[in-house]
Amino acid sequence: MSLNGKVILITGGSRGIGKEIAIRAAQDGAKVAILAKTAEPHPKVGTNSTGHASLDLLSAPISLYHFLSLPGTIFSAAREIEQAGGKALPIQCDIRDEDQVKSAIQKVAQKFGASAISLTDTEHTSVKKYDLMHQINARGTWMISKYCIPHLKKSSNPHILNMSSPLSMESKWFSGNVAYTMAKYGMSMCVLGMSEELKKYKIAVNALWPMTIIETAAMQAIGGQDQIPKRKPAIMADAAHWILTQDSTKHTGQFFMDELLLRRIGVTDFEKYNTIPGTKLEDIGPDFLLDDNDVKEVLRLRQIEEDREYRVENIHHKDHGVKEIGTATSISSNDTDNDDVDLEIEKTILPLHARILGLVSVFIIQNAISGIPNSLGVYQTYYLQTGFKTTNADTISWIGTLPLVGQFLFSTPAGILVDTVGPRFTVFAGTLICAVSMLLASFATQIWHLILTQGLLFSIGAGFIFMNAITLPGQYFPRHAGLATGIAVGGGATGGAIYSEITQKLIDRLGGYQWPLRITAIIVVVFGMTFGLFMKRGLAKPNPTGRRPSSASQGLMSNFYDLSALRKWAFWLILLECFFASIACFGPYMYLQTAAEEVGVSSTKSVYLLIILALSSGVGPVVFGYISDYIGPINSSFIASLLNGIFTLALWLPTKSFSVLCVYAFFFGFVCSTFLVTYGLKLASLFGVERIVGMSGLILFSCGIGNIFGVPVEGKIYQTLDKRETFHYSIIFMGANSFVALVFVGIQWWWESRRTQDFRLFRSV
């Protein structure tokens, strides 16, 4: 929503935050009325030996009196508003005077179709100052609102926004400045009362307050403030712009804090608001009258952002003889049931070339080992039509199901091994298990032999490999975790394309499945043992407990399954999305080649469907991982789930054409595994990085259960309803599950919109 054409009345808008908000609104093309007393530049008054205004700074960081000489007039502000692209109406008005207020509002209505601070203790606050503060803050706010309400009732999306603090009855905010706090809280009580009173007229009434000290004309006039870290008024302007562009029926009666609001709507660059470039967040002094819960939430969100980039310095490891390498941080959050969470923030320790080599190694090992489950459709087709053609399809389906399930179910417990020996030896163990499983399967004579070896045993080794693929990339490149994880996940998909081609040619030439399995085992050993040498931790060394930090947990989590997550319904939305997406995702890998041969396509030709599917599955996660870093993981999941269902039902279901099946394989593969890339990003955003691993264990478990349920059920439908002649009902089942997953993604979007109070359709979420 834009403020173009909207009429905005700002009191005290000749300078500082008010003027900055006016200019930001003008950039949208708003019509801005400025009400202030200053029509002519103030003469210099009360200057000290430095030439700056003399003020008492003993009682608080800022003391700004009504008589202070400050730059800026209503006319200079009007010129800047019009230069920014808006229309301006400067009106000289003392908002203590009822007649002037009524006249000013009438002028605004006709033309276009809303302070004073003294932080001193009670003994040193004069009655005149007390009256002034209450007349301008509480009485002025109430009176301006009163005479604007008749006009706001006629407006579309009307808003009243007060620059006032959250209400808190803590004595620390009153002590030393009773008069000012009372006056400011008078404005806040206007928000509290009017928001409810005016709700029936769809008029929003909210408050906005800064988290930190803001550089205003008053600060500049004080003198000696240039080297004190502050923020520009632009941060308040951006926050106010967001509030004023929201639906007035959905956002009212709220007390917003600038930084907290901006972080919740996805802003991460706060450097642009600093008056001194390069200032650290902790060096900018906090403002006055802050709400403790809001401050804790801001600190939590700051911590999450720092965790992502591993930039926190000075971690102090004081116990167990570990030398000092940084500072442990303890934060409190409602998302962790109000328990303090000790976050051990560790720095990336690998140089760039080692991180690049590590990511390449993850990709190649995923390609060589995790690519095998994505090519099992070739074996499954052979078993269905040649090797074990008298065996039920749902029984044979377990050979392909178990590796897909196992890489999810066994990946999180594999973290125990990662904790003990690190990622390198975990990969070695997974490689050997996978190779042995393939060798044993090559000697199988019964279908249950294959289920135990090619299915179950291989799945254990694949889980060891997959654990590193989903955790190491984010450690290597935390700023681009989505893209890095997408590359790793894509390795398994492209491996499926390579193995599908190799396996089909070996089966055709060697006349069976035995030697193809043995040759695959050799490939697994060569690539796994070679590139496993380059897989290292991306994080620092031992933690204060004496245990090596888990690659999975990044030193932040010791539990593999965070059962407390099950009390969070937002977590359930992600878990259920992944469950149904898994059912929809892996069926085509098992049955697309068989479906093609059912309509007369030769095995030599049909294998190219799996190759296309696997190749596009390798590219898709990379693309969606990259765009997730920009448009947000929920948006990425929504797009992918929608396209997933459409492609399955609109392309695969009605066709018997090999060309159309090739098109389907490409587009389906491109979007099908997006949920594996985005779920971790969602967990980090909603619950913090400290809980990702424990929650990931549950998510991966749900994916495994989805596969256990999905592929065999699809095989049963093919065996019974489709009579092993078509895949009509099986395809409908797969497509329907994509749309069920889409429903849960849509609810995630709504929940996040409600949490951040941002219901814009097109935004990063």
Q: Which residues are catalytic?
A: 180
- The residue type of 560 is F
Dist. CA 726–CA 563, nearest whole Å: 42
Structure tokens at 360: 């390449």
Length of the chain: 765
| Phi/psi of residue 360, nearest 5 degrees | -60, -40
Dist. CA 107–CA 111, nearest whole Å: 6
Dist. CA 392–CA 441, nearest whole Å: 19
- The residue type of 302 is R
| 356, 361, 366, 372 alpha-carbon torsion, rounded to 10° | 150
| Strand 340-343 relative to strand 329-332, pairing | antiparallel
Structure tokens at 630: 């920009």
Dist. CA 74–CA 37, nearest whole Å: 8
Residue 321, C-beta contacts closer than 8 angstroms, at least 6 positions apart: none
- What's the number of CA atoms in the CB half-sphere (13 Å) around residue 658? 17
Residue 417, C-beta contacts closer than 8 angstroms, at least 6 positions apart: 425, 426, 429, 464
| 666, 667, 670, 676 alpha-carbon torsion, rounded to 10° | -120
- Smallest CA-to-CA distance from 596 within 652, 649, 645 is with 652
Nearest 5°: the CA angle 452, 455, 456 is 60
| Phi/psi of residue 445, nearest 5 degrees | -120, -10
Integer angstrom CA distances of residue 409 from 238, 412, 509:
45, 7, 35
- Secondary structure letter of residue 726 according to DSSP: -
Q: Which residue has the tokens 């403790």?
A: 292
| H-only helix segments in 410-480 | 415-421, 423-441, 447-450, 458-476
Dist. CA 138–CA 275, nearest whole Å: 31
The answer to whether the beta carbons of residues 254 and 745 sit under 8 Å apart is no
